[in-house]
């Protein structure tokens, strides 16, 4: 197994063959050598075009988005016969990672409202210097995300072993934009302790708040909380912990990554807690991202896992209709498949004339830009990505909703050296949304030009840059990484944009919502008595507004239990333990413990 993983890594790292080529050859490597007794039908993976597809399957899934891929793998491992198709010639569907050429095609398909591209609208693409872009040097995420180290998806990646197909990198830097400057909140004990600008009592309260966040479910704190449950989160924090509005903004919108203002106390606390508990699991950072592309890569990983477990894959297959009586699915190329259990559709690939697609009431406006700058000033040492948040009302457009931005440098493998991809998004809709995103992008441009200008930041310190302590000593406030005020700054150079893509994404998942059964219930009850092409079809959701992977596994489990009955055996697989060969010591140590009962005692901390 080790050797096949190595060869997979090599071809992934070598990312220069086009996405489609790589995808078609990559996943097939070495499968046979792993489980020779069960050679899965790897049609569609080794050869994208196949003369025919199987005539029968248990579950048919259309769309290889993240949720659908996890579902496919879970079902396949559970023993179901899964046929997983996608209308596109690439994996990932609504969360795919695309090259420039693919993005171009995607844009026109979206604007033509073709099947397979529903759920997106108003794609506007601008490439000022087409000759400068080598298409396959880029991996652009349609829905970029970051993974918290303490999350259900990460645990699933480990238990399912899909993490072996992927490479993850850390992301530590979360910046907030406020009053025309970028700042980084002190969120660890170390940062708070060494900070020179906070007053002692402020430090104390901030630490107290952090502790409270981690312990708010304890009985003694629960009473306290009950009194304030209905209050808005910002009020609660201000009243009880006397934190500054700037700190509250940072906690709420940057650490918590809350997409809208006016959240309840409980929602705010749980979000911030998600961030804090993710520290120190794998190191001093709370989030990871997948190299070479986010959800797109991860869904491919699960597809591979599903294929290993016996699922069949076929790309470039559009489903035309599903007949609930005969339980037969018909494809546009005429072929038919009998489905014994269920059909699952991604709304983006819903057949023409479908009637039961869940209503998509919510929107996310997205802006993706590729800039000709490495942006390394924003990244922590050794890292290649960062997050920037613009809280409500921080922009010149007076944004109602925060703008969230993920910045991916070339070290992430998704763009060439000295370039960077900026992913901005907001739940503000329409023209206002676009304005907010443009304003945010402008601020980022100013900031990076300032930071990377030869000579660095402002050397002229004023009174506000210096802190005078009670005992008379003077210290310079640590210069904030992304530079101070822009007011007097006039950049010498302009930032070159190589690509700008603005589009709207529609979803049925509310900004704070976790996918619930309600969404599926609607799809099953037919308001229209006549048969449509999607009768009795289960629909997954379009990707939510959430910038993390929260909710993805929940949805997969929900769909799973709708098909199988319950989710008790969701990914309950006992992989043969190849680890035994790697580490003889793990099995042959008199002190160390083979059994899990002892492991906690052996854990650290005297």
Partner 1 sequence: MSQALQAFQRETGTFLDGYRTEEGILRMHGTKKSKHQTKQAILIRIKKDAAKISRYRRLSNEVLSRKEAHKYDDESFKLTTQLLDWNPEFYTIWNYRRDILTNFKFLAVSDSEEKHHLLVKELQYILLKLKSFPKCYWIWNHRKWCLKQDCRADFSVEMHFIGQFFEVDPRNYHAWGYRQFIVQCMKDSMGLEGERPKIDYQEFKFTTKMINKNISNYSAFHNRSNLVGKLFDQSPNCTDINETDVNLQRYLSAFSGKSKKQVLELELNMFQNAIYTDPDDSSVWIYARWLFGDYFLDDLTFNEGVTLINKANKIIEELAELEKEDNRGIDNQWCLKTQLYLLKQLYKLYKAEDDSGVNYPEDDAREFDKMRNRLLELDLMRAQRYKNLSLDN
Residues of this chain that bind partner 1 (CB under 8 A): 155, 158-159, 161, 189-190, 192-194, 200-201, 203-204, 207-208, 281-282, 471, 475, 579, 583, 585-586, 588-592, 595-597, 599-600, 603-604, 606
Helix 219-228 / helix 265-277 crossing angle, nearest 10 deg: 140
Which lies closer to partner 1 via its Cβ, residue 455 or residue 600?
A: 600
Q: Are 599 and 110 in contact (CB under 8 A)?
A: no
Shortest Cβ 104–partner 1 spacing (Å): 40
Q: Which two tokens stand for residue 138?
A: 């880029």
Secondary structure of 510-543 as H, E, C letters: CCCCCCCHHHHHHHHCCCCCCCCCECCEEECCCC
341 three-state secondary structure: strand
Shortest Cβ 69–partner 1 spacing (Å): 20
Shortest Cβ 123–partner 1 spacing (Å): 40
Shortest Cβ 476–partner 1 spacing (Å): 8
Which lies closer to partner 1 via its Cβ, residue 525 or residue 597?
A: 597
Which lies closer to partner 1 via its Cβ, residue 39 or residue 592?
A: 592
Which lies closer to partner 1 via its Cβ, residue 129 or residue 575?
A: 575
Shortest Cβ 386–partner 1 spacing (Å): 22
Which lies closer to partner 1 via its Cβ, residue 431 or residue 588?
A: 588
Dmax (CA) for the chain in angstroms is 86
Shortest Cβ 192–partner 1 spacing (Å): 6
Shortest Cβ 536–partner 1 spacing (Å): 36
Q: Which residue has the tokens 């909703």?
A: 401
Which lies closer to partner 1 via its Cβ, residue 454 or residue 591?
A: 591
Shortest Cβ 443–partner 1 spacing (Å): 32
Q: Which residue has the tokens 């420039």?
A: 100
CA gap 448, 56 in Å, rounded: 56
Shortest Cβ 173–partner 1 spacing (Å): 18
CA gap 411, 409 in Å, rounded: 5
Which lies closer to partner 1 via its Cβ, residue 221 or residue 270?
A: 221
CA atoms within 13 A on the CB side of 67: 28
CA gap 433, 439 in Å, rounded: 10
Shortest Cβ 571–partner 1 spacing (Å): 11
Which of 91, 10, 100, 105 minimizes the C-alpha distance to 416?
Answer: 100
CA gap 343, 330 in Å, rounded: 12
Q: Are 73 and 65 in contact (CB under 8 A)?
A: no
CA gap 573, 159 in Å, rounded: 8
CA gap 365, 429 in Å, rounded: 6
Which of 544, 146, 508, 164 minimizes the C-alpha distance to 361?
Answer: 508
Q: Which residues lie below 8 Å from residue 357, measured CB to CB, with a gap of 6+?
A: 118, 345, 347, 350, 523, 534, 539
Shortest Cβ 462–partner 1 spacing (Å): 19
Which lies closer to partner 1 via its Cβ, residue 91 or residue 549?
A: 549
Which lies closer to partner 1 via its Cβ, residue 459 or residue 591?
A: 591
Q: Which two tokens stand for residue 66?
A: 């993240």
Which lies closer to partner 1 via its Cβ, residue 39 or residue 586?
A: 586
Which lies closer to partner 1 via its Cβ, residue 34 or residue 126?
A: 34
Which lies closer to partner 1 via its Cβ, residue 52 or residue 223?
A: 223
17 three-state secondary structure: coil
* Element containing residue 580 per DSSP (H, E): helix 579-582
Sort strands 174-178 and 385-390 into parallel, antiparallel or unpaired.
parallel
CA gap 115, 346 in Å, rounded: 11
Q: Which residue has the tokens 């850390």?
A: 170
Which lies closer to partner 1 via its Cβ, residue 326 or residue 589?
A: 589
Shortest Cβ 199–partner 1 spacing (Å): 9
Q: Which two tokens stand for residue 15?
A: 């990312």
Q: Which residue has the tokens 């048969």?
A: 531
Shortest Cβ 290–partner 1 spacing (Å): 16
User: CA-CA distances (angstroms) from residue 464 to 441, 475, 479, 483, 484?
Assistant: 27, 11, 12, 14, 11
Residue 497 backbone phi and psi in degrees, to 5: -95, 135
Which of 250, 293, 281 minimizes the C-alpha distance to 268?
Answer: 250
Shortest Cβ 471–partner 1 spacing (Å): 7
Which lies closer to partner 1 via its Cβ, residue 218 or residue 340?
A: 218
């Amino acid at each position: 197994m080790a050797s096949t993983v190595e060869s997979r890594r090599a071809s992934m790292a070598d990312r220069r063959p086009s996405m489609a080529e790589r995808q078609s050859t990559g996943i097939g490597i070495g499968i046979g050598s792993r489980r020779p007794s069960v050679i899965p039908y790897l049609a569609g993976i080794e050869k994208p075009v196949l003369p025919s597809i199987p005539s029968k399957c248990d579950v048919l899934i259309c769309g290889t988005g993240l949720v659908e891929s996890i579902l496919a793998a879970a079902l396949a491992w559970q023993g179901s016969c899964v046929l997983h198709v996608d209308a596109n010639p690439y994996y990932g569907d609504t969360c795919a990672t695309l090259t420039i050429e693919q993005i171009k095609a995607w844009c026109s398909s979206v604007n033509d409202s073709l099947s397979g591209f529903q759920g997106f609208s108003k794609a506007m693409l601008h490439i000022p210097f087409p000759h400068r872009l080598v298409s396959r040097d880029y991996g652009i995420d349609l829905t970029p995300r970051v993974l918290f180290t303490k999350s259900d998806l990460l645990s699933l990646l480990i238990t399912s072993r899909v993490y072996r197909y992927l490479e993850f990198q850390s992301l530590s830097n979360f910046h907030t934009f406020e009053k025309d400057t970028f700042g980084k909140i002190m969120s660890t004990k170390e940062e708070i302790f060494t900070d020179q600008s906070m007053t002692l009592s402020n430090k104390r309260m901030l630490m107290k708040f952090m502790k409270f966040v981690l312990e708010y479910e304890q009985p003694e704190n629960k009473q306290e909380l009950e009194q304030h449950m209905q209050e808005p989160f910002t009020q609660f924090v201000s009243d009880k912990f006397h934190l500054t509005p700037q700190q509250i903004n940072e906690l709420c919108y940057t650490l918590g990554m809350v997409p809208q203002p006016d959240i309840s106390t409980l929602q705010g606390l749980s979000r911030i807690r998600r961030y804090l508990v993710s520290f120190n699991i794998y190191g001093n950072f709370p989030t990871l991202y997948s190299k070479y592309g986010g959800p797109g890569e991860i869904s491919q990983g699960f597809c591979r896992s599903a294929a290993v477990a016996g699922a069949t894959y076929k790309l470039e297959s559009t489903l035309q209709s599903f007949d609930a009586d005969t339980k037969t699915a018909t494809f546009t190329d005429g072929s038919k498949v009998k489905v014994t259990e269920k059909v699952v559709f991604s709304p983006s690939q819903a057949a023409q004339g479908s009637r039961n697609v869940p209503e998509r009431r919510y929107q996310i406006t997205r802006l993706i830009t590729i800039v000709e700058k490495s942006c390394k000033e924003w990244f922590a040492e050794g890292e290649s990505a960062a997050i920037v948040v613009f809280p409500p009302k921080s922009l010149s457009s007076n944004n109602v909703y925060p703008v969230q931005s993920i910045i991916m440098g070339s070290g992430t493998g998704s763009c060439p050296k000295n370039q960077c991809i900026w992913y901005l998004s907001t739940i503000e809709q329409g023209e206002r949304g676009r304005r907010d995103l443009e304003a945010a992008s402008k601020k980022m441009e100013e900031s990076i030009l300032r930071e990377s200008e030869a000579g660095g930041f402002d050397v002229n310190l004023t009174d506000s840059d210096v802190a005078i302590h009670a005992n008379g000593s003077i210290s310079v406030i640590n210069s904030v990484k992304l530079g101070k005020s822009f007011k007097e700054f006039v950049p010498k150079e302009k930032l070159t944009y190589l690509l700008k893509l603005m589009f709207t994404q529609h979803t049925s998942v509310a900004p704070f919502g976790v996918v619930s059964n309600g969404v599926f219930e609607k799809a099953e009850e037919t308001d229209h008595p006549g048969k449509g092409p999607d009768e009795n079809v289960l629909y997954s959701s379009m990707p939510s507004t959430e910038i993390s992977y929260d909710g993805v596994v929940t949805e997969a489990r929900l769909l799973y239990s709708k098909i199988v009955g319950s989710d008790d055996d969701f990914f309950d697989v006992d992989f043969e333990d190849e680890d035994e060969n790697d580490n003889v010591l793990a099995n042959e140590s008199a002190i160390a413990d083979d059994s899990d009962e002892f492991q906690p005692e052996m854990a650290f901390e005297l």
